[in-house]
Structures are given as structure tokens and as C-alpha cells.
């Protein structure tokens, strides 16, 4: 049975780039959802999102990569919201979502800006094994004194490290060892590492997300990790540039709200439709 798939470029920058994401209705998906781990590559994407529910919601979202099913995916949620708005023919949409057994609210405004509220960001200091196991694999030499200052562990359901570097040039130079980083993350139960520059006076910064635990050596855009950073920088709205090293310029917007929730998202548009056998 053919599978109808929409390709959404999520978290675009000024109408270009973004993370290509395959989105499809549950009714159009294979009966064996485990087979969806093969779909993203066939659609030219790193992730796939399965959407199920009435137009008014609640809408269930499930996420897949080559490594299998994920409990959550921020840029996948953004892509799903753009998909739902396009299917409804609406430029503005508010819809309740269910992701991994929890409820959240998604919004589309102006036809292309899709955001959602992430309310379960947790922050802590990293452990010594996390620092010594992961940072050398990221490309930071030696131990201790050569490590960045201010590393945090953060979670929206899975822990990852937030690693600061001093400049965009330093971020671009970073060359992790994917196999070594995956082994360290698997051993420590980490999703991966989100390496970021400091925000400038307007709140703009750059980041790269290395997520070997989900089969993605480097993510074009990672909204959940950006939400974690916004929570750590409480009181600031940030705009995070990602994907430049991959030739897919992306920008994610995030703002921490009083009470701990973070509004996060970006520009997303339907860029193609496929029918896969």
C-alpha cells in the first residue's frame, strides 16, 4: 500500500533551509510502525512524524528516526503543527497535542510560525563521568582544565549536555568523533550534546546538536535542547542559529515564561509531497 508523506522544512531561517521532516497521517502509515525507522531516509529527512486525531484535537504525535521511535521531538512537533495548519487551510491555529503520554498546546500564527509550550525542562549539574566521558569525544582535548566552564545537564524527558563555547568560530571548528561520542552517550544514558555560543545583546546565538543516541550524528535543528537553554537563561528570549555546517540554515526561537514553561518553535512550511511504495 502506498504511503502519502508530506515533507516539512522545520525551523527555517528567513524562508530557507530548515530541517526536512517527513509527516504523515496514522491512517496512511504502515501497520507495522517499527518499519517507519526506514521512512525518513527515503523522504530525504532525518525524522518522521505520525499524526493521529481529529482536526480540533487532541492530536497524537509519534516520532521516528533510523534508530527507532523517540519519546519526543521538538522540531518534529513544529513540523506537525505546520502540517495540521496546511491540512486545515488555516493561517492561525491552536490545537491540543499529546506527545509521549503528556498533553501540550501547539500554535500556528501567520501561516508559517509554529510554536508549542514545553513545560518539563529539568536542569542539573553534570556528573564527573558525564564530563570526562563525553567532552573528549566532542573534541575538547585532555581533561579538567581544558573543559568548557558552565556545562549543564538538561532534560525534556531525556538528558543531554548543554556545552558552552566562546565563539561561532570555535563552534564551527568542533569535530566530534561520532562513534566515540555515541558509545559515551549510550553508556551514560544521554541523548547527546548541544554545543552553543553565548547570546549577544539581542539574544542571538548559534548551536550544534550532536545526537548519536538517536542515530543522528548532527541535527539540523533541535528545538527541545533550545528550550532547555532558554530555561537556563531564564528571562531572555533567544534566537538560535543551527544547521549552517550542514548547509541547511535554521533558526529556533525560545522564551522562558514565568512558572517554568518555555515557548519554542520556528518557521515551518510544507515543501513537498511524496507517495512511497
Q: How many CB atoms lie within 10 A of CB 78?
A: 32
> Are 56 and 88 found together in one domain?
yes
What pLDDT sits at residue 85? 96
CB 100 within 8 A of CB 118: no
Q: Give the residue ranges of the chain where pLDDT is below 70.
A: 1, 142-146
Q: What is the pLDDT of residue 87?
A: 92
Parent domain of 216: 122-242
Give pLDDT, residue 28: 83
pLDDT computed for residue 174 by the predictor: 95
In this structure, are 167 and 113 located in the same domain?
Answer: no
Same domain as 103, residue 134 = no
Judged by DSSP in three states, 86 sits in helix
* 197/147 same-domain check: yes
Q: CB under 8 Å, gap of 24 or more: what pairs does 215-219 form?
A: 215/65, 215/66, 215/67, 216/46, 216/47, 216/65, 216/192, 217/176, 217/178, 218/245, 218/246, 219/19, 219/46, 219/75, 219/192
- Is residue 113 domain-shared with residue 136, that is, in the same domain? no
Question: Based on the domain organization, do 132 and 180 belong to the same domain?
Answer: yes
The three-state secondary structure class of 29 is coil
- Give me the pLDDT at residue 73, please: 94
**What angle in degrees, to the nearest 10, is found between the helix axes of 74-88 and 223-232?**
120
Q: Do residues 165 and 100 share a domain?
A: no
- Note whether residue 100 is domain-resident: yes
Q: For residue 75, which of 246, 250, 245 has the smallest C-alpha distance? A: 250
Residue 248 lies in a domain: no
Same domain, 54 and 109: yes
Determine how β-strand 47-52 pairs with β-strand 59-65: antiparallel
pLDDT for the residue 48: 94
The tens digit of pLDDT for each residue in 187-212 reads: 999 999 999 999 999 999 999 999 98
Task: Identify whether residues 63 and 150 lie together within a single domain.
Answer: no
pLDDT at residue number 144: 58
Provide the domain count of the chain: 2
pLDDT, position 146: 67
What is the predicted pLDDT for the residue at 3? 82
CA atoms within 13 A on the CB side of 174: 34
Give the model's pLDDT for residue 199.
Answer: 97
pLDDT at 203: 97
Report yes or no on 23 lying in a domain. yes
Cell of 73: 521531538
CATH of residue 209's domain is 3.10.310.10
In a domain, 254, yes or no: no
Pairing relationship of beta strands 237-242 and 204-211 according to DSSP bridges: parallel
Amino acid at each position: 500500500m502506498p504511503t502519502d508523506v508530506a515533507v516539512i522544512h522545520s525551523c527555517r531561517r528567513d524562508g530557507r533551509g530548515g530541517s526536512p521532516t517527513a509527516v504523515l497521517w496514522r491512517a496512511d502509515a504502515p501497520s507495522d510502525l517499527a518499519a517507519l525507522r526506514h521512512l525518513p531516509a527515503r523522504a530525504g529527512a532525518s525524522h518522521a512524524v505520525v499524526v493521529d486525531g481529529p482536526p480540533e484535537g487532541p492530536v497524537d504525535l509519534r516520532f521516528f528516526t533510523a534508530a527507532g521511535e523517540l519519546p519526543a521531538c521538538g522540531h518534529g512537533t513544529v513540523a506537525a503543527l505546520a502540517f495540521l495548519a496546511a491540512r486545515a487551510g488555516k493561517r492561525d491555529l491552536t490545537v491540543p497535542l499529546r506527545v509521549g503520554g503528556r498533553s501540550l498546546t501547539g500554535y500556528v500564527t501567520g501561516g508559517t510560525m509554529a510554536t508549542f509550550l514545553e513545560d518539563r525542562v529539568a536542569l542539573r549539574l553534570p556528573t564527573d563521568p558525564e564530563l570526562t566521558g563525553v567532552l573528549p569525544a566532542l573534541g575538547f582535548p585532555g581533561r579538567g582544565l581544558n573543559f568548557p566552564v558552565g556545562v549543564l545537564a538538561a532534560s525534556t524527558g531525556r538528558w543531554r549536555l548543554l556545552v558552552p563555547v566562546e565563539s561561532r568560530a570555535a563552534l564551527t571548528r568542533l569535530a566530534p568523533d561520532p562513534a566515540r561520542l555515541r558509545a559515551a552517550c549510550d553508556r551514560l544514558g544521554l541523548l547527546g550534546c548541544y554545543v552553543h555560543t553565548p547570546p549577544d545583546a539581542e539574544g542571538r546565538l548559534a548551536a550544534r546538536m550532536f545526537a548519536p543516541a538517536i542515530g543522528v550524528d548532527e541535527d539540523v535543528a533541535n528545538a527541545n535542547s533550545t528550550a532547555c537553554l532558554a530555561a537556563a537563561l531564564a528571562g531572555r528570549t533567544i534566537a538560535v542559529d543551527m544547521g549552517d555546517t550542514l548547509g541547511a540554515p535554521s533558526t529556533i526561537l525560545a522564551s522562558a515564561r514565568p512558572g517554568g514553561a518555555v515557548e519554542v518553535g520556528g518557521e515551518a512550511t510544507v515543501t513537498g509531497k511524496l507517495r512511497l511504495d
